[in-house]
């Protein structure tokens, strides 16, 4: 089941730079693990912004919630969650 999640990241100007770097590294590792297992199907940067558009493939709303809440940068993010469906015109079944 697919969801679009749009994430805007706002790290305060005076946040500790080292801690920020550590959180970003954790975020990247966490994201890549989920991409590798097929949960985080796509991630794109919005051009010019510290924001991404992501597509998640999860078993349920609960599963999506747990994945997002575990994001190392979650406390710095504003989230927009949009449930998606396979489009009747789609030619690929695995874009369900």
- Binding residues vs its own copies (CB under 8 A): 1-5, 12-13, 15, 27-28, 31-32, 35-36, 42-49, 52-53, 55, 60-62, 64-65, 68-69, 75-76, 79, 81-92, 95-96
- Exposure string over 45-61, b if 16+ CB within 10 A, otherwise e: eeeeeebbebebbbeee
- Token match 């999640």: residue? 5
Closest to its own copies by CB, 18 vs 88, is 88
Question: Which two tokens mark 32?
Answer: 């890549």
Q: Is the CB of 22 or the CB of 83 nearer to its own copies?
A: 83
């Amino acid at each position: 089941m697919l969801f679009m999640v749009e994430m805007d990241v706002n790290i305060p100007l005076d946040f500790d730079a080292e801690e920020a770097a550590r959180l970003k590294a954790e975020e990247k590792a966490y994201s890549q693990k989920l991409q590798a297992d097929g949960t985080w199907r796509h991630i794109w940067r919005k051009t010019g912004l510290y924001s991404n558009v992501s597509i998640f493939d999860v078993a349920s709303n609960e599963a999506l919630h747990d994945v997002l809440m575990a994001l190392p940068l979650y406390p710095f993010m504003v989230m927009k969650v949009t449930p998606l469906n396979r489009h009747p015109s789609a030619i690929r079944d695995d874009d369900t």
